[in-house]
Amino acid sequence: MKFFIRLTSIFICIQLNVLAQSNDHSFSINGKLPVDLVNVFLGSSGDHGQMSPAASYPFSMLSIGPQTYPKTHTGYEFLAKKFEGFTHNRFEGVGCQGSGGNILIKPFLGNDPTKTDLIKLTENAGPGYYAVGFENKISAQLSVLKNAGKHLYRFPKGKKGFYLDLSYAFNGAFVDEQHQVKGNTISGWIISRTTCGVGKYKIYYCLSVKGVANWEGNGNHRLILMLSDDAVDAQIDVALSSVSAEAAAATINKDSFEQFKMQSAADWNRNLSKIEVHGDEESSKLFYSLLYRTMQSPYAISEKDGSYRNTKGELQKDKQIHYNGWAIWDNYRTQLPLLSIINQSEYAGMITSIAELYQSGKKDYAGQNEPSNTVRSEHAIVVLLDAYQKGYKVDFAKIADSLVKEVDRLDYKSPDKALETSYDHWALAEVFAILKNKDKSAFYRNKALEYKKYWNKDFRDLTKNDVDRMQARGLYQVTIWQYRWFVPYDVKGLIELDGGEASFLDNLDQFFAKDLYNHANEPDLQVPLLYNATKSGYKSQYWMHQLAADTVIQNYFNDNSRGIGSYIGKIYKNEPQAYLRTMDDDAGAMSAWYIFTASGFSPACVGFPVYYLNVPLFRSLTYHLPNGRTFKIETENFDLKNKFIKATFLNGKPFKKNYITQAEINAGGVLKIIASADPVKVSDTENWISSIEK
């Protein structure tokens, strides 16, 4: 026993040492590291986020997670007791019933896998790790490090084995597979339909059971491997690749399970520590649990030698890491801007990869030869413009013709599409301004200005009886009230259209007073910030705080219902039934919204490197930036009742603006926000407002 205790103590010391060495900005909250605070079960029950507790790694295409019956979009339901096995990929938090769930492995007892029921008895998990114990004495531990993973099983003595279903995928999305067996190793490729079933992706894999055993197939994409009757432990190594089965085999990690698990946790801690918060433990747990969700996708698809496949399935090579797995329509407003600050090295590769989509024949949804699961990529041009304005390299000249081709095919078939299309026209006008092509810039700027015609037609008159009705006039998951504010690049023009500032403010006030705002979806996420463009900026400060941390009333849901069981309570909760009913996290979009709001600044308009200020939800936060720089946000008079900004200082000097730029954040320093319980109704700050006018 003493020997066991000594070994345990040594292991704990080694683990803490690995975490400390891998964390450039070591800190803890009540003795707990950021990785210790993450609740991976947040949003994993019902339709309250569509997240899973799968073992994952930052931006890895591999995530090994439990497959329950019944399941949700990611294959897992927190309340479910029965397990079907474990699968190896999933797109976190997206709609259309989710996608992924490839390569199902089920441990079983006896000779027949169908006779073994896996009933959950115990369960625990954290970043990079998942473990479960079943009533039949089988237990499983899973871990992921980069694109490699490990399963570790414990069995009772007797007949046992593994059942492998290569045709398994969420919602019957399997298309085809090819594999070869060499003893205890199986490798090959799988083709499945992407999220929403629009396109197809092809992944390569290698899976090996440690020890002497043989996979036996039945010719129906399903195989069985029997273990020794005396064996009580079994380990499976697995890896995924976008390039080849050989590349996947080379990615297999030979470290012990514990070393592997510790390194994954250390890497997660390093990433999570890029934002250092100081506050109470419960608030910190919610913060880091949501920050964890912002780093699930897109997926790194490059091998060590720089090889990867593009969206045509063609083999390419580049020194820069390339990515795939996009949900840009969902997360361009929040998650991608957050990554542009906290994951700057990775974000450079993401921007290069988005630009490359245009060289591969980009479409709004997935193509037929994707190198990983993916969703959709509308407004990619806005993301590229935003990145350029923030100092990232974008070769617009190389893709200008493809940008034109994409924007020119956009339509105005419904009121919401008219406004969405105009946004891309504006972005293209800005791109041609960067390229110093005045004629084309003017042409697309005039096209963008046509939004006024469509806005006057459908959004001006709020007396019609369908303005609060979901999907009225062909809208997608929204109402006229919710979409009338979607002119992010020209709020100045929008205010004028709405009859001037007084009328604009009156309509905004009505919008919130009648609880017409819908946080269950993205299209009106920017509306709480619009007060910043007026003399009533304090109302934005109120609503950002209210939506992030206080009780709200929500009447709209993503099943296109209104007023059926209105929700009253907090939206962001650290529990399996987090979020609103039907509210998806949408690939980190909603989590990133919270991270920004809790930090005290949020994107004003994607395409401009500008962030509106609000009172943070923590006494202090520090963003750890490249080259040792830090950007610290301090709140004086901190109290959750103090929702309003009284004064602001940047590096000790009065900061007379209601916004901050990406350049000011990247330069580092200290932003001090003095909070107040009383709104400052007469302010001398410079208020930023977007405008199409030059």
Confidence of residue 16 (pLDDT cuts 50, 70, 90): very low
pLDDT at 9: 38
Residue 586 half-sphere exposure toward CB, CA atoms < 13 A: 26
97: left (phi over 0), alpha (psi -120 to 50) or beta: left
Tell me: do 464 and 418 sit in the same domain: yes
Burial of 515 per CB tally in 10 Å (0-12, 13-18, 19+) = middle
Tell me: do 549 and 451 sit in the same domain: yes
- Radius of gyration (C-alpha) of the chain in whole angstroms: 26
What is the average per-residue pLDDT within 345-367?
A: 95
pLDDT at 10: 36
From CA 28, how far away is CA 36, in angstroms rounded?
9
Residue 300 half-sphere exposure toward CB, CA atoms < 13 A: 23
> CATH code at 308?
3.30.2080.10
Tell me: do 207 and 330 sit in the same domain: no
pLDDT over 80 at 22, yes or no:
no
Q: Which residue has the tokens 């959750």?
A: 640
Of the candidates 248, 107, 110, 259, the residue with the CA atom closest to the CA atom of residue 189: 248
Tell me: do 257 and 339 sit in the same domain: no
What is the average per-residue pLDDT within 69-90?
A: 95
Look at residue 8 and tell me if it is in a domain: no
Tell me: do 49 and 179 sit in the same domain: yes
Name residues whose C-beta falls within 8 Å of residue 432's C-beta, 6 or more positions apart in sequence.
400, 438, 440, 441, 444
625 token code pair: 């930036």
Which of 274, 289, 312 is the last residue in one of the domains? 274
Angle at 39 between CA 47 and CA 258, to 5 degrees: 125
From CA 586, how far away is CA 602, in angstroms rounded?
18
Q: Which residue has the higher pLDDT, 18 or 348?
A: 348
What is the average per-residue pLDDT within 545-567?
A: 88
Tell me: do 456 and 355 sit in the same domain: yes
Q: Dump pLDDT digits (tens) for 186-196.
A: 999 999 999 88
What whole-number percentage of the chain has pLDDT above 90?
89
> CATH code at 80?
2.70.98.10
Q: Which residue has the higher pLDDT, 490 or 559?
A: 490
Q: Dump pLDDT digits (tens) for 197-231.
A: 999 999 999 999 998 788 999 889 999 999 999 99
| Phi then psi dihedrals of residue 468, to 5 deg | -110, 15
Look at residue 587 and tell me if it is in a domain: yes
pLDDT at 96: 85
Q: What is the DSSP string of 345-380?
A: HHHHHHHHHHHHHHHTT--SB--SSBSS---B-TTH
pLDDT at 8: 38
* Single-letter code of the amino acid located at 621: L
480 token code pair: 């006229």
From CA 64, how far away is CA 405, in angstroms rounded?
39
Q: Which domain holds residue 323?
A: 297-676
pLDDT at 282: 97
Tell me: do 270 and 321 sit in the same domain: no
pLDDT over 60 at 4, yes or no:
no
What is the average per-residue pLDDT within 420-441?
A: 98
Q: Report DSSP state, residue 326.
A: -
From CA 58, how far away is CA 272, in angstroms rounded?
10
> What's the number of domains the chain is made of?
2
From CA 52, how far away is CA 55, in angstroms rounded?
9
Under 8 Å between Cβ of 483 and 419:
yes
Look at residue 10 and tell me if it is in a domain: no
361: left (phi over 0), alpha (psi -120 to 50) or beta: left
Tell me: do 236 and 349 sit in the same domain: no
Of the candidates 679, 693, 691, the residue with the CA atom closest to the CA atom of residue 535: 679
Name residues whose C-beta falls within 8 Å of residue 217's C-beta, 6 or more positions apart in sequence.
181, 223
Name residues whose C-beta falls within 8 Å of residue 210's C-beta, 6 or more positions apart in sequence.
184, 234, 235, 236, 237
Confidence of residue 380 (pLDDT cuts 50, 70, 90): very high
pLDDT at 219: 84
The CA distances from residue 585 to 52, 194, 344, in Å, are: 11, 18, 22
Look at residue 7 and tell me if it is in a domain: no
Q: Dump pLDDT digits (tens) for 641-692.
A: 999 999 999 999 999 999 999 999 999 999 999 999 999 999 999 999 999 9
From CA 24, how far away is CA 452, in angstroms rounded?
50
What is the average per-residue pLDDT within 543-550?
A: 98
Of the candidates 584, 592, 513, 589, the residue with the CA atom closest to the CA atom of residue 555: 513
| Residue 613, strand partner residues | 601
pLDDT over 70 at 528, yes or no:
yes
Q: Dump pLDDT digits (tens) for 144-184.
A: 999 999 999 999 999 999 999 999 998 889 999 999 999 99
pLDDT at 694: 65
Tell me: do 266 and 345 sit in the same domain: no
What is the average per-residue pLDDT within 428-455?
A: 98
As a 3-state breakdown, the chain gives helix, strand, coil percent values, each rounded to 5, of 35, 25, 40
Tell me: do 177 and 307 sit in the same domain: no
Helix (H, G, I), strand (E, B) or coil at 453: helix
Q: Dump pLDDT digits (tens) for 602-654.
A: 999 999 999 999 999 999 999 999 999 999 999 999 999 999 999 999 999 99
What is the average per-residue pLDDT within 475-480?
A: 93
Tell me: do 351 and 475 sit in the same domain: yes
Question: Which sign, positive or negative, has the C-alpha torsion 72, 41, 548, 612?
Answer: negative
From CA 600, how far away is CA 580, in angstroms rounded?
23
Q: Dump pLDDT digits (tens) for 229-277.
A: 999 999 999 999 999 999 999 999 999 999 999 999 999 999 999 999 9
Maximum pairwise Cα distance, the chain: 81
Tell me: do 259 and 314 sit in the same domain: no
The secondary element (H helix, E strand) that includes residue 202 is strand 200-209
Look at residue 14 and tell me if it is in a domain: no
Confidence of residue 425 (pLDDT cuts 50, 70, 90): very high
What pTM value is reported for the model? 0.96
The CA distances from residue 285 to 39, 54, 277, 491, 545, in Å, are: 7, 18, 10, 36, 18
Which of 259, 274, 289 is the last residue in one of the domains? 274
pLDDT at 24: 64
Look at residue 17 and tell me if it is in a domain: no
Look at residue 359 and tell me if it is in a domain: yes
Q: Which residue has the tokens 């109402």?
A: 479
pLDDT at 19: 52
Report residue 94 CA to chain centroid gap: 9
From CA 476, how far away is CA 242, in angstroms rounded?
33
Question: Which sign, positive or negative, has the C-alpha torsion 482, 487, 491, 493?
Answer: negative
Name residues whose C-beta falls within 8 Å of residue 509's C-beta, 6 or more positions apart in sequence.
539
Cis-peptide into 523, omega within 30 deg: no
* Single-letter code of the amino acid located at 409: R
The CA-based dihedral angle spanning residues 74, 78, 84, 85, taken in that order and rounded to the nearest 10 degrees: 70
* CA distance from start to end of the chain: 76
Look at residue 21 and tell me if it is in a domain: no
Please provide the average confidence, as pLDDT, over all residues in the chain. 94
The CA-based dihedral angle spanning residues 557, 562, 565, 570, taken in that order and rounded to the nearest 10 degrees: 50
pLDDT over 60 at 91, yes or no:
yes
What is the average per-residue pLDDT within 18-37?
A: 77
